[in-house]
């Protein structure tokens, strides 16, 4: 197994997961308008999910002998998802989350491909359900935005 490639790939995913976790909190706190109760709760559900995903990815890196990144500065350096300092309108928050989850799913796909190539079954087993859950969440967000 090309362990270095697996560490780097998983650390990239970890970085995105950490940034998303914080970004979803930001939206959870600052969302306003008629959809407040719905979106406030949905963002919470999603950041709870990313808390678990973050932990699982970091621990997988350790299991295969690597070092998970451990600071917010490192997460920002390696993330493909960017933060937003402003407070977008509620609908724009949903659009941003949808786009970020698409980006995240793209990166999950890359790690899965590498895991298959390297015969890393544990990582593939970890990320398959993450990918399935993203399919479901993205379907819901697209359905919401179609209204
Ligand atoms: Fe809260």
Per-residue tens of pLDDT for the chain, all 147 residues: 889 999 999 999 999 999 999 999 999 999 999 999 999 999 999 999 999 999 999 999 999 999 999 999 999 999 999 999 999 999 999 999 999 999 999 999 999 999 999 999 999 999 999 999 999 999 999 999 997
| Structural tokens at position 13 | 């995913």
What's the gap in Å between 65 CA and the centre of ligand 1?
Answer: 35
Q: How far, in Å, is the centroid of ligand 1 from the Cα of 29? A: 7
Q: What spacing in Å lies between the alpha carbon of 4 and ligand 1's midpoint?
A: 38
Q: What are phi and psi of 51, to 5 degrees?
A: -65, -45
Burial (Cβ within 10 Å: 0-12, 13-18, ≥19) of residue 69: buried
Distance of CA 30 from the midpoint of ligand 1 (Å): 10
Structural domains of the chain in order of their starting residue, each with its CATH number: 3-146 (1.20.1260.10)
Residues 6+ apart with CB under 8 A from 6: 64, 66, 114, 115, 118, 120, 123
| Ligand 1 centroid – CA 46 distance (Å) | 12
């Amino acid at each position: 197994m090309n362990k270095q490639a697996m560490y780097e790939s998983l650390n990239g995913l970890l970085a995105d997961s950490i940034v998303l976790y914080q970004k979803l909190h930001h939206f959870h706190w600052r969302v306003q308008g008629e959809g407040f109760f719905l979106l406030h709760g949905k963002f919470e559900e999603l950041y709870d999910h990313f808390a678990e995903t973050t932990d699982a990815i970091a621990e997988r890196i350790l299991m295969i002998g690597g070092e998970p990144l451990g600071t917010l500065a490192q997460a920002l350096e390696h993330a493909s998802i960017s933060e937003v300092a402003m407070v977008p309108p509620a609908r724009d928050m949903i659009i941003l989350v949808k786009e970020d989850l698409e980006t995240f799913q793209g990166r999950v796909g890359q790690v899965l491909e590498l895991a298959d190539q390297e015969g890393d079954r544990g990582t593939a087993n970890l990320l398959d359900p993450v990918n399935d859950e993203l399919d479901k969440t993205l379907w819901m967000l697209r359905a919401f935005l179609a209204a």
